[in-house]
Amino acid sequence: MNVSLILIILLIGAFATYLVGDKLASKVALFFSLAALGCSVVLTNHFLAGESISLINAWITQPKISFALNADGLAIAMLLLTVALTPIIIFSSFGNEYKNAKGFYALILFMAFAMTGTFLAADGLLYYIFWELALIPIYFIALIWGNGDSEERRKAVVKFFIYTLAGSLFMLVAFIYLYQKAGSFLIEDLYKLNLSACEQLWIFLAFFLAYAIKIPIIPFHTWQANVYQKAPTVGTMLLSGIMLKMGLYSVIRWQLPLAPLAAKEYMNIFIALGIAGVIYGSIVALRQKDLKKLLAYSSLAHVGLIAAGTYTLTIDGLRGAVLQMIAHGFVVVGLFFAAEVIFRRFETRNISEMGGIRIQSPKFTSMFLILVLASVALPSTFNFVGEFTVLYSLSQINVWFAVLGGTTIILGAYYMLKMFQHVMLGDKNAKTFADVTINEGISLVVIIAVLIFFGFYPKPITDLITPSLETILNVINKN
Amino acid sequence: MNTLIAITGLGIFCLLFEILNLRKGIIPFTILGLLGVLALNFSEFGSTESYYNNMIAVSKFSTTFSSLFIVLTIFLVALSHNFYENHPTKISDFVAIKIFLLAGGVAMVSFGNFAMFFLGIEILSISLYVLAASERLNLKSNEAGMKYFLMGSFASGIILFGICLIYGAMGSFDIVEISEYSLSAELPIWFPIGMILVVIGMLFKVAAVPFHFWAPDVYEGSPALTTALMSTLAKVVAIATLYKLISALNFIPSLENQDHLATFENIIVIISIASMTVGNIMALRQVNVKRMLAFSGISHAGFMLMTLLSISTSAGVLLYYTSAYALAGIAAFSVVLYVCKNQDNEDITNFHGLGKTNPLLAAILTGSLLSMAGIPIFSGFFAKLFLFNQTIEAGFLILVIVAVINSIISVGYYFKLILAMYSKEPNQERTGKPFLIYGVAIISMTLNIVLGLFPSLVLDLLN
Amino acid sequence: MEMDTNLALVLVLAPFLGFLINVFFGKSLGRTVSGIIGTAAVVVSFLVTIFFFNQITLTGKAIQITLFDWIQISNLKINLGFLLDQLSLLWLLFVTGIGSLIHLYSISYMHDDENMHKFFSYLNLFVFFMITLVIGSNLLVLFIGWEGVGLCSYLLIGFWYKNQDYNDAAKKAFIMNRIGDLGLLIGMFILGSMFSTLDYATLKTAIAGAANLNIPLLSLAALCLFIGACGKSAQIPLYTWLPDAMAGPTPVSALIHAATMVTAGIFMVTRLNFVFDLAPDVQTIIAIVGGITSLVAATIGLVQTDIKKVLAYSTVSQLGLMFLALGFGAYEVAVFHVITHAFFKACLFLGSGSVIHGLHGEQDMRKMGGLRSAMPITFWTMLVSSLAISGVPFFSGFFSKDEILLTAFHHNKALYVIGSIASIMTAFYMFRLMFLTFFKDFRGTEEQKHHLHESDGLITFPLMILALLATFGGVISLPGNSWLNEYLAPLFTKVAGEEHHLGTTEYILMGVAVLGGLLGILIAYIKYFKQDNVPESDENITGLAKVLYNKYYVDEAYDVIFVAPVNALSKFFRDYIETGLSALVFGLGKVTNELGFQGKKLQSGSIGLYLFAFVLGLCAIVSYIFLAQ
Amino acid sequence: MGNILNQIGIENYIFLCVVLFCIGIFGVLYRRNAIIVFMSIEIMLNAVNLLFVAFSTYHQDAQGQVFVFFSMAVAAAEVAVGLAILVSIFRNLGSISIDNLKNLKG
């Protein structure tokens, strides 16, 4: 089974979507994304059947860069996350009318293509190229179809682009440096390197800059809230649902194995940063007036915890992090979609103008509540599995990490329930709120189903990712 | 050699066309002619001969670069059709001058003797002076011409002096002989000084800090097409020649013998850092697109100079970088030409809403800007990548980091233009889809992306 | 075995099924039907429980059921499994039993509420989670139920969601619980890392088998677990949510906030008795906390005027007593009191509910009185329960409370005194409640007076059942020969509670306790029957009474100490740090931009300058070369 | 033929030319009249030409002198163009002072 097929589907999809014109664009995009999903499922079966899913084609001779894709369990998990969320995201946008829709949906597919590539790439430079490519579409999506005052938006988006690019360019330098040492960009060759502690430190920092901005880890998160707020909800979903995970995935795949000494040496600092993010994000979220901004900060908090998990360098930490990545991917998409659903009816994202929805629309309220509960990691939701594992791994490093990280349980509940109370509860709102349409319902139900199913039975994913995580850990602990 | 002769012949033909009143046919004819020349040039590929007791030395380097120049000239000639619509009587002259300019360029990369080198430079420069000032009644154009002329000839004076010193030191103008002498144990100080003077002259041509001041003014003042020519063809020719000059004369080894290498490298490093930094920072606040591109050109000159630090291996990289840069430039300028056809200036405001009125052109301009900014899949990215790789290998990590920071800054102004195209409302309706401009834009952009997808195509020509 | 598994699943899932049905079809089914479904669901589990109960009383061996692996962590593998042993079955018995009664009660009580089907779905969901909590075979399954019941209490407290105060109360309850939950989690982590299992059975064996345990660490774990218990079971310092939780409908208060959920903490501690036994320091802490809580709550209860608030504080106080017992390792005693308390407190709440129902939502005792004639059944049942709770001899409460005090006496005199005082106060405020509510003549509006009536059968029937239980519930553990202790014996490492043979001291103590109870009743009688004075209206309460009436201003204190700072911090972060960071990033851009702007001046357009720069550069380079010579 | 260099050493010629060249440079730098600037540039070029001749005598080799012809021809061409530009400037501006050429800046 050729792994590049998925990439090809998505890329062709992007062009096809652009060509069929505004009328059909959304449908075609949905079709292609579903095709990619199907293809990935088949791929997964092949993988589970023990087939090794990888290909290497020579691409550039001097310097030696090859078009190498490799799908181990981890990559497949992220791949599935991407291709599963993309159709949901596209489908969720059916309620909206976009001018120049063909461009819009084409960009979405193209972004999916780039992100998939990032997850699959097994060659440092190829990975970097996909990584950068993913940035372009979201830039245009946010810029052209975003909301709010265009001047503000422009500032926010440009800041986002330059800021992230700045980070990743240093990663590029690091990659070139590694290439000088290894004579190839292939990941296995890079894994073989034995760098001095000092070199590793610099490499680690270069990567960290790129990832810390993308994930984002405080204090590099300043782009996040604004962009989430200004971007169209679809863009926000793509950003928060998948693109953040790119950063976290890269930490596991590239940063830790390539600079294990540094990672071990300064482990505590980076865990502490992550946890600081948890607390900071939660606290800032308490007083947000804008629903999307609040969700942005909540995801800052969650992602901080995930990052802390990855930096523990324990199998639990990594496993929990990956589980939590997937869980958070779904829940955050769901929440942002819910925010969009509200916006479609109330024309506002300002929490103070909401409230009294529950009376008018019980179905939607229940769904929203489930999403909220999932995001506060109520047991029996997927997020709990991830969060529990991560916190456990933290407690193994130092019980205080677990305690501080665990404050997310309290603060998270605080701001989410506060939000829920003011958005949904309370007496009847002047504005009428029609209950969810079928389409909206489908998207939400799918997400909720995933969250709850894996909440009780995460085994499939765990079994999928564990072996590859162990191999990565072996690389980390090789010397 | 034949290439050179053919080009010159072609130029003369163009003039004849005017006499024979065949203006209509001139553009297609010239393009065909140039394609022929290109073929001819390919036929000389790989052959390393020298003609007229080594006045001209054809080498892989010269042929490859000449073909790049020819390609660029084809684009420029194609663009000139639409550009000179309004004064048909002059078109043949301008085209002819461009051809001669090309001849000068080819002479410069394939010189085997300083006489040829000097003539080449002068042919190039004089044609440029003329083109720069070609809008007789436009004071800006005159001023641009004058500034360029004064500084240019001043630079020629410096170069000449340098040549003279080299001659004094070596007693010959012949590259081969000089390169042999230059390896000998001790040389008179005149040789490095002379070389430095010549290099400085060339640095002026590539517009490197602190010899860059002319560029923005001249670019802004000259007719848009000339600007396009300067920022693509002229710059590429100059940097290529500089590279050839230093490599062909065994300048680096000779410096090593005299252990002045560090000195020279420091100079290059400082100049290239200065160029990219000044270029990028100055570009940030420009409102005139031509001027902005001039500054971006200065910064790119800074990048290109990095190749001089690993002279023995970086020919391919230089070729790749120049082609990437030039192709992007051509694409960008073809859009600029279209947008600013009947405007009296080239301010960014003219580009407002281009994304809505002409999505294709907007996309192409975006592409070329992204390429210049070094965003993946456009060849600009790979150019930077190879360059950085090369330079880190040569051990100039700091320089690369500065370069990286600069490319971050550069995004700032490239995106200013993109933003103008996509996030502003159109302020004028743009009519007509001039076939040649679209053609050039599309082809150059395609080439750019193809180079990005298969860098080896170009990269391996000189490795 | 197969059979057991299926039955256990039925036991767990029946309420869940009820929940699903009520959620999806409740509205269309109509109120009564959905009510019946909800009740039936619980009754089913009740029956199954009885079945298992019989089984175990015969065989006496626990049933362990493992469904499938759940969470996998390197050194501990957590599966989703059930453990049906003496303890869990006992709990299930009264959870489902009282649960069904209360469901039954609610059919009538909630009948006028448009969202009745929702109410029942939530109740079912609660029972489902409660069962999960009790039946889970390891701590993490317990945690599912633990948080689940928290969620349900959130939903039910905020059942009348139009009123934001109720929502606040609900939120408060959930968050307070979450604070405890964090403790519980940490406790689990420590246990997990120490014994690499969270499964009760294996944990027990591991601890038993472990050579040179790390006692301090274990104690830390125990402490964390206890914090969790504090959250759920409303002990100091996390008790303040429970009184507010009275915002919910009365059946909810009866079921969740009196009989079942709040006892989860005691369940957990009892479940993990083998851990706590090894941490004597923690046990002392538990005892002290329990004692103080019981006293503090009782004092507050003295002056409350809202009938449900009184009961709420009495609940907190009773829970305190239970923890007192736990602290002395007398788990079976605590369990005993849990059961009796479940009976009479549920009865009391339901009774108060019936009263409120009769007065159309009036909860202030100052506006009641003289209801005895109007609603006799309610009166008698409540009277019985009050007697029980006040520890009047031969009512269930008498035995359980007495045992607690005995244990306290044997271990720690001071706490014994505290406990006794608390129970005297209990007797006092319970009868204060009785007198104010049922005696003298009615103080409400004419219009209310006109509508006064006894509630219908569906309400009174559960009352009577519970009253009976409250009366005779004591028989399960009579001093001397206690069926309960034998029944629970397998759970405990040490011999179930040192069987204090009934010597003279015991009898004296009993007498003291009884006298105390009677004394309390007497005071109440004099104060509210003889002199028949009615509590002041809020504004002119003064002095100590004011402090008590305002619950020692604990809520206010918490607001000042915790809530306000966090919010202030949040505001600070939002307005300064965030803007600062973004300003920093923008600043970099601005600076470079400014440089560009200044640079433009240099590009002055004068050829002379350009040439000058040219020559300057030239000279610089050439001279550099000469210098480098 | 070389004897002249025996009487007056080559270095003197070099210094002379350098001095001349510098005079040219300073002329270019300090004069504002375009014509005079042209002349200064010519001085620079001619200084170099002189040096060429000197060197060619020194090296006993004619190439240098040939080169001089090239450079003179080129210089002539350059000046022709320059003057042409100057004329059109004079037409538009009415002055030939290079200080008036400051419209392009920033």
- Residue A412 near residue A298, CB atoms below 8 Å: yes
Query: What are A455's two structure tokens?
Result: 């909440």
- Residue B342 near residue B331, CB atoms below 8 Å: no
Domains of chain D: 3-100 (1.10.287.3510)
CB pair distance less than 8 Å for D103 and B146: no
Q: Which amino acid is at A74?
A: L
* pLDDT tier for residue C461 given thresholds of 50, 70 and 90: confident
Give me the residue from C592, C614, C628 closest to B154, CB to CB: C614
Nearest chain B alpha carbon to C599: B282
Nearest chain C alpha carbon to D102: C605
DSSP character for C577? Answer: I
Residues 6+ apart with CB under 8 A from A194: A479
Residue B360 lies in a domain: yes
Residue B46 lies in a domain: no
CA distance to partner chain D, nearest, from residue B373 (Å): 23
Query: What are C31's two structure tokens?
Result: 């109120």
Give me the residue from A162, A284, A418 closest to C171, CB to CB: A418
| Residue C599 forms contact with B (CB below 8 Å) | yes
Full domain range(s) for residue B455: 284-463
CB pair distance less than 8 Å for B216 and D104: yes
Q: What residue spans define the domains of chain C?
A: 159-557, 558-628
pLDDT at C415: 86
Phi, psi values for residue C113, rounded to 5°: -90, 135
What is the crossing angle of helices A150-182 and B379-393, to 10°? 40
Residue B326 lies in a domain: yes
Nearest chain A alpha carbon to C27: A362
Residue B12 lies in a domain: no
CB pair distance less than 8 Å for B404 and A172: yes
Q: Which residues of D touch C617 (CB under 8 A)?
A: none
Among residues A9, A22, A74, A123, which one has the least CA distance to residue A319? A74
CB pair distance less than 8 Å for C611 and D98: no
CA distance to partner chain A, nearest, from residue B450 (Å): 13
Could you check whether the bond before residue C393 is cis, i.e. omega within 30 degrees of 0? no
Distances (CA, A) of B431 to B88, B354, B426: 21, 12, 13
Handedness of CA A459, A461, A463, A465 (dihedral sign): negative
pLDDT at C556 over 70: yes
| Residue B157 forms contact with D (CB below 8 Å) | yes
Could you check whether the bond before residue A219 is cis, i.e. omega within 30 degrees of 0? yes
CB atoms within 10 A of CB C59: 9
Q: Which residues of D touch C600 (CB under 8 A)?
A: 105-106
- Residue B65 near residue B111, CB atoms below 8 Å: no
**Measured distance CA(C58)–CA(C61) in Å, rounded:** 9
Distances (CA, A) of A376 to A381, A410, B268: 9, 9, 58
- Residue C362 near residue C356, CB atoms below 8 Å: yes
Query: What are B353's two structure tokens?
Result: 């809403």
Among all chains, which residue has been given the structure tokens 């690499």?
C196
CB atoms within 10 A of CB B379: 26
Nearest chain B alpha carbon to A166: B408
CA distance to partner chain B, nearest, from residue C625 (Å): 7
pLDDT at C1: 66
CB pair distance less than 8 Å for C71 and A410: no
Question: If interface means Cβ-Cβ distance under 8 Å, which residues of chain A face chain B?
Answer: 60-63, 125, 128-129, 132-133, 136, 140, 143-144, 150, 153-154, 158, 161-162, 165-166, 169-170, 172-173, 176-177, 179-180
DSSP 3-state of C72: strand
| Residue B208 forms contact with C (CB below 8 Å) | no
Enclosing H/E stretch for A65: strand A65-71
Q: Which residues of A touch B408 (CB under 8 A)?
A: 162, 165-166, 169
pLDDT at C471: 85
Question: Mind giving me the DSSP string for B71-87?
Answer: HHHHHHHHHHHHHTTT-
Q: Which residues of B touch C598 (CB under 8 A)?
A: none
H helices present in A49-184, as ranges: 73-92, 101-120, 124-133, 135-145, 150-182
- Report the alpha-carbon angle A469-C143-C344, nearest 5: 180
Q: Which residues of chain A have pLDDT under 50?
A: none
- Report the alpha-carbon angle A114-A118-A121, nearest 5: 120
* pLDDT tier for residue C501 given thresholds of 50, 70 and 90: low
- Residue C208 near residue C494, CB atoms below 8 Å: no
CB pair distance less than 8 Å for D29 and C605: no
Q: Which residues of C touch A278 (CB under 8 A)?
A: none
| Residue B191 forms contact with A (CB below 8 Å) | no
Q: What is the ipTM of this complex?
A: 0.90
CA distance to partner chain B, nearest, from residue D38 (Å): 8
CA distance to partner chain A, nearest, from residue B18 (Å): 45
Q: Into how many domains does chain B fold?
A: 1
DSSP character for B210? Answer: T
Per-residue b or e along C27-54, where b marks 16 or more CB atoms closer than 10 Å to that residue's CB: bebebeebbbbbbebbbbbbebbeebbe
CB pair distance less than 8 Å for D101 and B220: no
**Measured distance CA(C93)–CA(C90) in Å, rounded:** 5
Phi, psi values for residue B111, rounded to 5°: -75, 145
- Residue B367 near residue B448, CB atoms below 8 Å: yes
CA distance to partner chain B, nearest, from residue A19 (Å): 13
Residue B372 lies in a domain: yes
The number of CA neighbours under 13 Å toward the Cβ of C186 is 30
Among residues A373, A393, A395, which one has the least CA distance to residue A455? A373
Strands (E), B74-150: none
Flag whether A touches D (3+ CB pairs, 8 A cutoff): no
| Residue C592 forms contact with B (CB below 8 Å) | yes
Q: Which residues of C touch D101 (CB under 8 A)?
A: 605-607
pLDDT at D51 over 80: yes
Q: Which residues of B touch D88 (CB under 8 A)?
A: 133, 136-137, 142
DSSP character for A56? Answer: E
CB pair distance less than 8 Å for C609 and B213: yes
Nearest chain B alpha carbon to A126: B376
Residues 6+ apart with CB under 8 A from C295: C317, C320, C418, C421, C422, C425
CB pair distance less than 8 Å for C600 and B285: yes
pLDDT at C496 over 50: no
> pLDDT tens, B227-254?
999 999 999 999 999 999 999 888 888 8
- Residue C104 near residue C46, CB atoms below 8 Å: no
Residue B430 lies in a domain: yes
- Residue D86 near residue D34, CB atoms below 8 Å: yes
Among residues B381, C573, D18, which one has the least CA distance to residue A133? B381
CB pair distance less than 8 Å for B408 and A169: yes
CA distance to partner chain A, nearest, from residue B46 (Å): 20
Query: What are A215's two structure tokens?
Result: 């994930």
CA distance to partner chain A, nearest, from residue B239 (Å): 22
Q: Which residues of C touch B282 (CB under 8 A)?
A: 596, 599-600, 603
> pLDDT tens, C75-123?
788 888 888 888 888 888 888 988 888 888 888 888 888 888 888 889 8
Phi, psi values for residue B319, rounded to 5°: -55, -50
CB atoms within 10 A of CB B436: 19
**Measured distance CA(C218)–CA(C203) in Å, rounded:** 12
DSSP character for C84? Answer: E
Residue B455 lies in a domain: yes
**Measured distance CA(B100)–CA(B9) in Å, rounded:** 9
Lowest-pLDDT range, A428-432, B351-355, C285-289, C396-400? A428-432
Query: What are A185's two structure tokens?
Result: 């960009």
pLDDT values of chain B reduced to their tens digit, one per residue, 463 residues: 789 999 999 999 888 888 888 778 889 999 999 999 999 998 888 788 888 888 999 999 999 999 999 999 999 999 998 888 888 888 888 999 999 999 999 999 999 999 999 999 999 999 999 999 998 888 899 999 999 999 999 999 999 999 999 999 888 899 999 998 888 877 888 888 899 999 999 999 999 989 999 999 999 999 999 999 999 999 999 999 999 999 988 888 888 887 888 888 999 999 999 999 999 999 999 999 999 999 999 999 999 999 999 998 899 999 999 999 999 999 999 999 999 888 888 889 999 989 888 889 999 999 999 999 999 889 999 999 999 999 999 999 999 999 999 999 999 999 999 999 988 888 887 878 888 999 999 999 999 999 999 998 888 888 7
Number of A/C CB contacts below 8 angstroms equals 136
The number of CA neighbours under 13 Å toward the Cβ of D79 is 17
Give me the residue from B376, B408, B415 closest to A133, CB to CB: B376
Can you give the length of chain A in residues? Answer: 479
**Measured distance CA(B401)–CA(A170) in Å, rounded:** 8
CB atoms within 10 A of CB D26: 13
Handedness of CA B271, B277, B282, B283 (dihedral sign): positive
